[in-house]
Amino acid sequence: MKIKLLALLALMLPALAFAGDAPKLDSGDTAWMMISTALVLLMTPAGLALFYSGMTRSKNSLNTYAMVVGAFVVAMIVWIVAGYSIAFGANADAGMQKFFGGFANVMLNGIKWTDLSGTYPTYVFVAFQGTFAAITVAIASGSVIERIKFSTWIVIVILWGLIVYAPVAHMVWGGGILMGKGALDFAGGTVVHMNGGLAGLVLAILVGKRANYPKIAVKPMSVMLTALGAALLWFGWYGFNAGSAFGANAIAGLALLTTTIATALAGIVWMLLEWIIYKKPTLLGLASGIVAGLVAITPAAGFVNVEGSMIVGAVGSLVGFFGVVSLKKIFKYDDSLDAFGIHFIAGLWGALATGLLAVKDNDLLWDGPLKASGDRMGQFMVQLESVGVTIAWVIVGTVVVYFIASAVTGGGRVDKETEEMGLDEATHGEKSFNL
């Protein structure tokens, strides 16, 4: 019997070896990536929308929610139509490939439902990355709420996803110039948070300040809704960071833990700062610290260890606090909900810190041309270059997009009467609460 079994195994070995050469669908990886996609989706029309709308004045809270959800649904379709192709498609021209993926996969042309990205379906990868594209532009909305036309905003979402987001995603993740240099961005420090936060500031400057800002008191409609939004963001962020391991593997576990540590410590740091400076720890501050920690750890989540995640989270909260409390007063810009102050500033810190703190203990962590030599300063300079390229691209692209959108919609800002009445009733004919 043993001889017969050995003979049968010998006959099967060539076939097994051949089958091993081709990628195979892994049910565990597929399940995790589908769950991660759903988690990241939850972050925008639930988490971010509640986080933003709770901080807005009651007469504009519904409009704020609509801007986030509207951005999500429109950006997702833009991603399917052409965004994915620009970010991850193949480009025959080597020079253009540094910045654009091309148009070979417009409307997902050339991608079959049976195709795999590693060990899970390519269609799942498309959807997963689409949620990143959608939340990035939604982040920018927080800088311009209460005074931008809804029609202008929708046009911005369409154009910005193609002109700004998709090329940046390609340069960092899709085989472009920054990826080629070995830039590290595990889940979106440059691609998502710096990108969306800086776009928000550019739009805020172009649209202009809110009427009577900063003379009038802008009181949040509901800090409780904002806190609930922060909790949903933290929950969904596990799909954001751990999902960026692209499988149910050890790196996903690492990213999950580092995300938890950095976020918790960032919340503590922000709370203590308020306690020391203002003598009162606020729930709004605690929620803001949590988001700052999530943002800061995003580019580093799969590259750092426990100690590194604590440094990233603590300093991320410090710089986020500075961006919200001090930087805005110094330069006198009206970043309504601090998209720039938290997402760009904390994202910038996280992107640079990744180069300094990336762990070098196996092939799955700090990877790239500088790993073998352990050249941390060299990696830091690569990170700095990726930050610089992202900043330049976002500023120029966002300015172009705004002026096109403004021209199409007859101006980007609502009139004085609409702003005074509030955009909920004036634009949507609805109220957040009919009491």
In single-letter form, the type of residue at position 329 comes to K
Residues 6 or more apart whose CB falls under 8 angstroms from that of 129 comprise 79, 84, 87, 88, 169
Tens digit of pLDDT for each residue in 2-50?
333 333 333 333 333 334 456 799 999 999 999 999 999 999 999 999 9
Tens digit of pLDDT for each residue in 319-349?
999 999 999 999 999 999 999 999 999 999 9
pLDDT above 50: residue 385:
yes
Query: For residue 367, what pLDDT is reported?
Result: 60
Least confident of 9-18, 110-119, 290-299, 310-319: 9-18
Query: For residue 96, what pLDDT is reported?
Result: 87
Count of beta carbons in the 10 Å neighbourhood of residue 374? 10
Helices 166-173 and 122-140: crossing angle in degrees, nearest 10, is 120
Q: Which is higher by pLDDT, 218 or 134?
A: 134
- Which of 287, 301, 174, 286 shows the shortest CA–CA distance to 237? 301
Average pLDDT over residues 201-221: 91
Query: For residue 368, what pLDDT is reported?
Result: 60
Query: For residue 23, what pLDDT is reported?
Result: 75
CA dihedral over 351, 356, 359, 361, signed as positive or negative = positive
Query: For residue 21, what pLDDT is reported?
Result: 55
* Contact (Cβ atoms closer than 8 angstroms) between residue 316 and residue 297: yes
- Per-domain residue ranges of the chain: 29-423
Place of tokens 């009491």: 435
% of residues, the chain, pLDDT over 70: 91
Nearest 5°: the CA angle 348, 301, 67 is: 60
29-423 has which fold? Ammonium transporter fold (1.10.3430)
Query: For residue 215, what pLDDT is reported?
Result: 83
Taking the model in full, what pTM does it have?
A: 0.92
Query: For residue 90, what pLDDT is reported?
Result: 84
CA dihedral over 44, 50, 54, 60, signed as positive or negative = positive
